[in-house]
């Protein structure tokens, strides 16, 4: 019994990381209606940038974020204003194709610069320390930090979207970019900021992922898949939904692995398909009047 409890608790903690992957994707889709195929590769890019920062400065991975996060923000803003804004329109295909192309470019540039070697960021004792709740059930400090960070991120994003001038501009532009311009909102700039914000989240997710597991230039698409599944389970456009989606995915994977180690990934996909069959719009779909 305690073993199963442990499996579920570890799954919930894993879900924190998936929610983090997913929240950036949810913002990009929510504000720009853009399906970002390159999301997973940007997570890996953030991890490599953190690796370089750590090697250069000697910072620990958490501290490296004070450099990595602004870099990713600027990359996001420039990517949106320089390339992605030109792909937006009534047709969903151009942004899909362009981000797919970008995904291939990023993977190959990373491969060229960093080789195919597997890497890992080292955070010291925190990686392995844990709190024992009862006999047979412990919570790792680092996975706990990841989950708490994911929750804090979602709370922060909710506040930003609901209570600030910028948040209102994000929502208005997402509803109707043309009418938003009549309010004096420069929609291209707002889209740039939204992508910058999303890649800021990607920076945090990338660093936490890189401490938790090995990474190499080719793993982006797998991360993208988890992010997609979490977003869709949660219901497109709902931030709390992405957390629930991430947790469902994490728990399903851990239960799968418990039954048979080979079933870990498959169990996550099966949970995703089950949700799709019964709730095609996800668990918390955003209701819209238009």
Partner 1 sequence: MSVLEIENMTAFYSDFQALFGVSLNIKKGETVAAIGANGAGKSTFLRSITGLVKNNADTFLYNGETLTGKVASDIVGLGIAMVPEGRKLFPSLSVEENLIIGAYQQRPGNWTLDRVYQMFPKLEQRKDIAGTALSGGEQQMVAIGRALMSNPDMLLCDELSLGLAPIIIKDIYSALPSIKAEGVSLLVVEQDINQALEIADRIYCFQEGRISLTGKPEDLTKDQIATAYFGISYD
Q: CB burial class (10 A; 0-12, 13-18, 19+) of residue 251?
A: buried
Told to check if 164 binds partner 1 by CB under 8 A, we report no
Residue 202 CA to residue 167 CA, distance in Å, equals: 19
Told to check if 55 binds partner 1 by CB under 8 A, we report no
Candidates 1, 3, 58, 184; binder of partner 1 (CB under 8 A) is 184
Told to check if 181 binds partner 1 by CB under 8 A, we report yes
Calculate the alpha carbon distances from 225 to 182, 249, 272 in Å. Answer: 37, 11, 11
With H, G, I as helix, E, B as strand and everything else as coil, classify residue 134: strand
Told to check if 288 binds partner 1 by CB under 8 A, we report yes
Question: Of 159 and 179, which CB lies nearer to partner 1 in the complex structure?
Answer: 179
Told to check if 144 binds partner 1 by CB under 8 A, we report no
Told to check if 89 binds partner 1 by CB under 8 A, we report no
- Region from 35-43, 145-153, 174-182, 210-218 binding partner 1, contact rule CB under 8 A: 174-182
Told to check if 165 binds partner 1 by CB under 8 A, we report yes
Told to check if 91 binds partner 1 by CB under 8 A, we report no
Which residues share a beta bridge with 34?
none
In 71-94, which positions are buried (b, 16+ CB within 10 angstroms) versus exposed (e)? bbbebbbebbbeebbebbeeeeee
- Region from 89-97, 111-119, 179-187, 248-256 binding partner 1, contact rule CB under 8 A: 179-187
Residue 63 CA to residue 241 CA, distance in Å, equals: 29
The residue ranges that bind partner 1 (CB under 8 A) are: 165, 168-169, 171-172, 174-176, 178-187, 288-290
């Amino acid at each position: 019994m305690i073993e199963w409890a442990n499996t579920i608790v570890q799954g919930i903690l894993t879900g924190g990381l998936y929610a983090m992957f997913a929240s950036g994707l949810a913002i990009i889709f929510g504000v720009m209606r853009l399906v970002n195929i390159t999301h997973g590769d940007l997570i890996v890019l953030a991890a490599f940038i953190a690796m370089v920062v750590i090697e250069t400065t000697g910072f620990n991975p958490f501290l490296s974020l004070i450099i990595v996060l602004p870099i990713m923000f600027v990359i996001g803003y420039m990517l949106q204003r320089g390339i992605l804004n030109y792909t937006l329109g009534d047709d969903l295909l151009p942004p899909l194709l362009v981000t797919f192309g970008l995904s291939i470019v990023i993977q190959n540039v990373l491969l060229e610069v960093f080789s195919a070697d597997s890497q890992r960021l080292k955070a010291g004792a925190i990686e392995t320390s844990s709190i024992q709740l009862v006999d047979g059930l412990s919570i790792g400090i680092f996975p706990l930090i990841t989950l708490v960070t994911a929750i804090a991120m979602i709370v922060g994003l909710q506040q930003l979207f609901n209570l600030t001038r910028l948040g209102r501009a994000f929502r208005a532009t997402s509803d109707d970019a043309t009418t938003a311009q009549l309010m004096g909102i420069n929609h291209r700039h707002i889209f740039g900021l939204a992508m910058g914000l999303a890649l800021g989240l990607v920076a945090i997710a990338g660093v936490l992922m890189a401490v938790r597991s090995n990474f190499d230039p080719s793993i982006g698409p797998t991360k993208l898949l988890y992010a997609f599944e979490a977003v869709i389970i949660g219901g497109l456009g709902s931030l709390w939904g992405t957390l629930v989606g991430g947790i469902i995915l994490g728990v399903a994977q851990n239960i799968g692995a418990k039954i048979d180690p080979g079933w870990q990934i498959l169990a996550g996909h099966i949970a995703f398909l089950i949700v799709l069959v019964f709730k095609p719009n996800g668990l918390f779909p955003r209701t819209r009047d238009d």
